[in-house]
Amino acid sequence: MTVIAIDGPAASGKSSVSRRVAARLGFACVNSGTLYRAVTREVLRQGADTSSPESIAAVLAGAEIACGIGDGGESFVRVNGDDAGAELSDAQVNSHVSLVAAVPAVRELISHLLRALARERPLVMEGRDIGTEVFPDTPYKFYLDASPEIRQARRDAEGGTDRVAARDRLDSTRKTAPLRTAADAHVVDTSHLTLDGVADAIVEKLRTLGIVPK
């Protein structure tokens, strides 16, 4: 099993960099945040209370969550057969996802699905707890960061409504699997690097660890 773990706070560049690294290595790319977003969107769609772990657990119990790797080599997720598309990053989901992601039952289920994906093929997987909790034994761990101001500016430039500081606070202070830097992660400050520059740094580090681009 080979997993390149890329963790970091919101808008640190994880998704774009992970795609680039995966393409260079010929690995599939898994965005674990979309699974948390898909569950959150279902909780909201059902009108359940996102501050109630019991209500969230009830939604989970009745939902069929399927994820896999699509033809393009990127992960997909469907809840009860629906992939939700652009709704996964709408304002409602942005403002509730950290509450839902803090619920241990949600984390347990999603971590299980993520581990199953890694048994199928080599992956680049991005998230908050991939190197600390989901694959603590992988020797390939990266933590991307950038100043809060730069990260918020990136989101604003995308025209979104995402408040990254609020999500970061919830994601890094929750009890279960909080966002933190694994002791053995390679930290990359992306504040003043291009996406290709960050991908270059990661691919070069991986080369020294024996992972060679295709």
The whole-angstrom separation of Cα 73 and Cα 29 is 6
The closest alpha carbon to 23, from 199, 209, 201, belongs to: 199
If DSSP codes are grouped into helix, strand and coil, which group holds residue 88?
helix
Of the pair 163, 208, the CB lying nearest ligand DC is at 163
Q: How far is the CB of 58 from ligand DC (least distance, A)?
A: 20
Q: At what angle do helices 104-120 and 53-61 cross, to 10 degrees?
A: 40
Contact (CB, 8 A) for 3 and 118: yes
Is 27 or 135 the residue whose CB approaches ligand DC more closely?
135
Identify each DSSP E strand in 46-138 by its residue range: 65-69, 75-79, 123-127
* Distance of closest approach, residue 28 Cβ to ligand DC, in angstroms: 16
Considering the complex, what minimum distance in angstroms separates the CB of residue 139 from ligand DC? 19
Looking at residue 51, the DSSP 8-state letter turns out to be: T
Q: 8 vs 201, which CB is nearer to ligand DC?
A: 8
CB of 180 to ligand DC, least distance (A): 12
Cα–Cα distances in angstroms (integers) from residue 4 to residues 29, 81, 205, in the given order: 9, 28, 11
By CB under 6 A, name the binding residues for ligand DC. Answer: 10, 32-33, 36-37, 97-98, 101, 127-130, 167, 171
CB nearer to ligand DC: pick between 116 and 213: 116
- Closest approach, Cβ 167 to ligand DC, in A, equals 4
Nearer to ligand DC, 172 or 213 (CB): 172
